[in-house]
Structure 1
Amino acid sequence: MSTGINTDAGEKLRAYADRMERLMEEIDGLKDDLKDLKGQAKNDGFNVQALTRLIMIRRDKRRFEVEAELLNDLLLYAHATGIPLDVISPSVESGEEVVRSSKVDPAAESAPFD
């Protein structure tokens, strides 16, 4: 693929550069908006550092929920296909790690992950 001035590759490259430049300008604008918002919160007497930490915790919680859903789907698919899969997950009650297996005893009548 040649990247001359009047080639398709050259035009694509120019389009990518233009789009990237616009996105970077938007990011700079959003950073300015965030700075202004933090200033407003500070002027209203709020602790901006605590507010920022709260947002980070909320974002991590959403990421954790997405990962938990993905792991649940993985375990269900492994079980449905009969593929044994051992997973280490933290126990909510004790804080210790617990090994859970997708291997199911055919004689057992309960669900595999009770």
Structure 2
Amino acid sequence: MGVTGERLRSYIERIERLEEEKQALADDIKEVFAEAKGTGFDVKVMRKIIRMRKQDLNERKEEEALLETYMAAIGMI
């Protein structure tokens, strides 16, 4: 196997290690959600809050306003 093959193997092995780490993190997150659920928190709402916290404030306000407009349009509020 030449230099190209060695480099390719190196990339593949690094990706495999990162995939393993990603799965371990996903398992840890799942465990934290299960723990929160066990103490009475609503996991669905927690996920929504986490998603919202990632958004820019203006983006979030725009989305909330649009949601309210749509809900009013179909008689939900």
Q: TM-score scaled to structure 1, two decimals?
A: 0.49
Root mean square deviation of aligned Cα? 1.9
Aligned to 1:27: 22
Displacement after TM superposition at 1:61 (Å): 2.2
Rg bigger for which structure?
Answer: 1
Q: Which runs of 5+ in 1 are unaligned?
A: 65-89, 91-114
Structure having greater relative contact order (Cα 8 Å, sep ≥ 6): 1
* TM-score normalised per structure 2: 0.71
Q: Percent of pairs identical after alignment? A: 37
Q: Return the letter of the residue paired with 2:20.
A: E
Number of the residue aligned with 2:74? none
In proportion to residue count, which structure has more helix? 2
Structure 2: give runs of 5+ residues left out of the alignment. Answer: 63-77
Identify the residue that residue 11 of structure 2 maps to in structure 1.
16
| Counterpart AA for 1:14 | R
Q: Distance in 2 between matches of 1:60 and 1:11?
A: 41
Aligned match of 2:33 in 30, 38, 45?
A: 38
Separation of aligned partners in 2, 1:23 and 1:46: 31
Q: How many residues align?
A: 60
**Displacement of 1:60:** 1.5
